[in-house]
């Protein structure tokens, strides 16, 4: 779907952004210039084209369908992704979440449609109407963007880049790069690297299979044995509270599963072809991701999941601007710009961790989860739902009702009765969870928030949020806070994160000079 014409209010707003070269809109829409046959990011330094020659598109695929090619000067896909896919819960947005995770490459259009609960024909019709291109074109555009990023930021061979980006053959890869960029892969690699200095990027190199990774002075020996080791710099949309994000992961890290501190976080991930060791480190307004992969074809899924885990595509300027209109919330927002929603890498694991953590402290939950991982997990991974269903009662401790809830959820997932999927609407996910014995609205909302990245969930029954709201002079009962939070839509999730972070520090039991306060962490 495109906008064109000076009478369209969206066109006028976007044209102003293009004329002012406003980088805040990079990745949120694309400017197609029909007189030159190219499409650009809004901040492109080229002369602003006449409005009559411009159309705006939501996706690169739509620009390709209109016969346009990517600008070699501004490299419009070398930016954070669109925040729209989390902001909206419509079919097009849910489809894009799955497309960027590589579902079409693995399961085809029919597999994508099945996960979304529609026919392929209906899905194609909706995507073409809403985004200007069908699922195959959207997947093709995403493969091209992934390939450009890998060519620019790794030393992977051209053949490995092709398969890492999701192409099924070298010929298909070469044809797509030529069609989208009017270039060869080698020429595109050279062009992209030349342009990184002006874009504020930094080249980060992955080691080719068979090369000597130890020659990299920053190399971690832990990543030497894998079939593919790769390092990628994943940019965030500024401002970016990366330190707060890493602190959350560190505070909730489970022994035997994760390790983290104020600047880094490491764990193993299940990816489509196997398990990956992943280490994430802050690098300015970006996350430096070093991974050891079972297969190079897992790169697309890895990038998608790390970006979601770290909420790198969130539009922090829009979020902070909207929340700061509330004078009671404004001091929190101005004091902590760019707050991010910590995501998850495994939906099933997220549910079990949330269920274990109910009604107990973060420290106690970490202990319980560490025991579960040690006794039922394998290969440094959290146990599967099947393993918990079969052996959970032997390991889980605590109230019988909580054990029954966890095991019941595990049995439902293992049998296929309960499916937690990135392509689900938030309301559907919440309804399915609440229908399970022992799972209430708070737990269901929290899981939907973390798993789907939903930006507009308000957990008004949360006692910590109510306490913070009272301290700030806001209504603090569940109903009153829920009504008051309507002014924060569609960013209520981020408002809730601010309220969690604003909880007064709990004084240490140790007294006297030098006794450290115990800084609160986000609940969950």
List pLDDT tens digits, range 22-61.
888 888 899 999 999 999 999 999 999 999 999 999 999 9
% the chain with pLDDT above 90: 79
CATH number of 224-314: 3.30.310.20
Kindly tell me the number of DSSP H helices and DSSP E strands found in the chain. 23, 10
Residues 6+ apart with CB under 8 A from 443: 354, 355, 358, 433
Average pLDDT, the chain: 88
**CB burial readout 429-439, b (16+ within 10 A) else e:** bbebbeebebb
Task: Give the integer Cα–Cα distance in Å for 466 and 458.
Answer: 11
Tokens representing residue 391 in the block: 């052996």
Tokens 């697309």 correspond to 300
All CATH 1.10.10.60 domain ranges of the chain, comma separated, are: 84-199
- Residue 48: in which H helix or E strand, if any? none
Task: Give the integer Cα–Cα distance in Å for 54 and 357.
Answer: 52
Read off the pLDDT of each residue in 215-237 and give the average, rounded to a whole number.
66
pLDDT band for position 146 (50/70/90)? very high
pLDDT at 195: 59
Assessment of whether the complete model's pTM goes beyond 0.75: yes
Please say if 40 is a catalytic residue: yes
pLDDT band for position 80 (50/70/90)? confident
Task: Give the integer Cα–Cα distance in Å for 64 and 62.
Answer: 5
pLDDT at 73: 87
All CATH 1.10.340.30 domain ranges of the chain, comma separated, are: 347-447
pLDDT at 297: 93
pLDDT at 261: 97
- Mean pLDDT is lowest, of 54-58, 208-212, 327-331, for 208-212
Task: Give the integer Cα–Cα distance in Å for 398 and 133.
Answer: 52
Q: Which of 26, 443, 380 is nearest to 18 (CA)?
A: 26
- 519 φ/ψ angles, rounded to the nearest 5 degrees: -70, 130
pLDDT at 211: 37
Which CATH number among 1.10.3720.10, 1.10.340.30, 2.60.120.560, 2.60.40.10 corresponds to the domain 347-447?
A: 1.10.340.30
**CB burial readout 317-354, b (16+ within 10 A) else e:** bbbbebbeebeebeebbeebebbbbbbbbbbbbbbbbb
The single-letter DSSP state of residue 266 is E
Catalytic residue among 26, 241, 320, 462: 462
* pLDDT exceeds 80 at position 202: no
Catalytic residue among 26, 40, 84, 456: 40
* pLDDT exceeds 90 at position 354: yes
Q: Which of 138, 1, 25 is nearest to 74 (CA)?
A: 25
- Mean pLDDT is lowest, of 15-24, 352-361, 435-444, 513-522, for 513-522
pLDDT at 7: 55
Please say if 462 is a catalytic residue: yes
**Contact assessment for residue 236 and residue 81, using Cβ atoms and an 8 Å cutoff:** no
Q: Report the top-level CATH class of 84-199.
A: mainly alpha
Task: Give the integer Cα–Cα distance in Å for 113 and 390.
Answer: 32
* pLDDT exceeds 80 at position 451: yes
Task: Give the integer Cα–Cα distance in Å for 449 and 441.
Answer: 12
All CATH 3.30.310.20 domain ranges of the chain, comma separated, are: 224-314
**Contact assessment for residue 83 and residue 28, using Cβ atoms and an 8 Å cutoff:** yes
**Number of neighbouring beta carbons within 10 Å of residue 258:** 19
Q: Report the top-level CATH class of 2-57.
A: alpha beta
**Number of neighbouring beta carbons within 10 Å of residue 477:** 14
In 3-state terms, what secondary structure has residue 262? coil
**Contact assessment for residue 105 and residue 139, using Cβ atoms and an 8 Å cutoff:** yes
- Residue 284 CA, chain-centre distance (Å), reads 18
Task: Give the integer Cα–Cα distance in Å for 194 and 199.
Answer: 10
């Amino acid at each position: 779907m495109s906008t064109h014409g000076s009478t369209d209010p969206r066109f006028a707003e976007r044209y102003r952004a293009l004329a002012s070269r406003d980088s805040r809109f990079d990745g949120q829409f694309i400017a197609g210039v029909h007189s030159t046959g190219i499409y650009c990011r809004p901040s492109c330094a080229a002369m602003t084209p006449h409005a009559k020659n411009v159309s705006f598109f939501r996706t690169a695929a739509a620009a390709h369908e209109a016969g346009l090619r990517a600008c070699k000067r501004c490299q419009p896909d070398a930016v954070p992704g669109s925040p729209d896919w989390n902001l909206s819960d419509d079919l097009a947005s849910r489809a894009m979440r799955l497309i960027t995770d590589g579902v079409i490459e693995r399961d085809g259009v029919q597999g994508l449609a099945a996960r979304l609960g529609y026919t392929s024909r209906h899905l194609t019709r909706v995507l073409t109407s809403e985004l200007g291109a069908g699922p195959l074109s959207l997947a093709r555009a995403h493969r091209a963007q992934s390939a450009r990023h890998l060519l620019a930021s790794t030393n992977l061979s051209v053949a490995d880049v092709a398969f890492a980006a999701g192409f099924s053959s070298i010929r298909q890869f070469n044809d797509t790069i030529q069609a989208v960029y009017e270039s060869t892969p080698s020429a595109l690699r050279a062009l992209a690297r030349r342009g990184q200095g002006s874009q504020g990027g930094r080249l980060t190199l992955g080691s080719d299979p068979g090369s000597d990774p130890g020659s990299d002075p920053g190399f971690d020996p832990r990543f030497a044995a894998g079939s593919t080791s790769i390092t990628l710099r994943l940019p965030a949309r500024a401002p970016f509270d990366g330190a707060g994000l890493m602190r959350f992961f560190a505070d909730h890290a489970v022994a035997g599963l994760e390790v983290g501190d104020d600047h880094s976080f490491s764990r193993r991930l299940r990816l489509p072809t196997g398990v990956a060791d992943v280490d994430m480190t802050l690098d300015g307004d970006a996350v430096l991701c070093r991974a050891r992969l079972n297969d190079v074809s897992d790169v697309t899924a890895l990038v998608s999941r790390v970006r979601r885990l770290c909420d790198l595509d969130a539009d922090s300027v829009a979020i902070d601007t909207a929340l700061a209109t509330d004078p009671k919330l404004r001091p929190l927002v101005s004091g902590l710009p760019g707050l991010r929603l910590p995501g998850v890498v495994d939906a099933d694991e997220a549910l079990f961790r949330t269920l274990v953590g109910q009604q107990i402290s973060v420290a106690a939950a970490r202990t319980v989860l560490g025991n579960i991982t040690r006794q039922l997990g394998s290969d440094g991974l959290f146990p599967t739902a099947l393993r918990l269903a079969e052996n959970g009662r032997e390991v889980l401790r605590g109230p019988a009702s909580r054990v029954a809830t966890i095991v019941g959820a595990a049995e439902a997932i293992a049998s296929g009765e309960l499916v937690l999927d990135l392509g689900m609407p938030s309301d559907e996910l919440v309804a399915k969870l609440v229908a399970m014995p022992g799972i209430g609205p708070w737990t269901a909302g929290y899981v939907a928030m973390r798993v789907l990245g939903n930006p507009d969930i308000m957990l008004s029954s949360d006692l910590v949020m109510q306490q913070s709201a009272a301290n700030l002079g806001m209504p603090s009962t569940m109903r009153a806070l829920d009504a008051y939070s309507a002014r924060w839509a569609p960013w209520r999730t981020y408002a809730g994160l601010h309220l969690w972070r604003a909880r007064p520090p709990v004084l240490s039991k140790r007294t006297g000079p030098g006794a450290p306060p115990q800084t609160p962490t986000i609940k969950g």
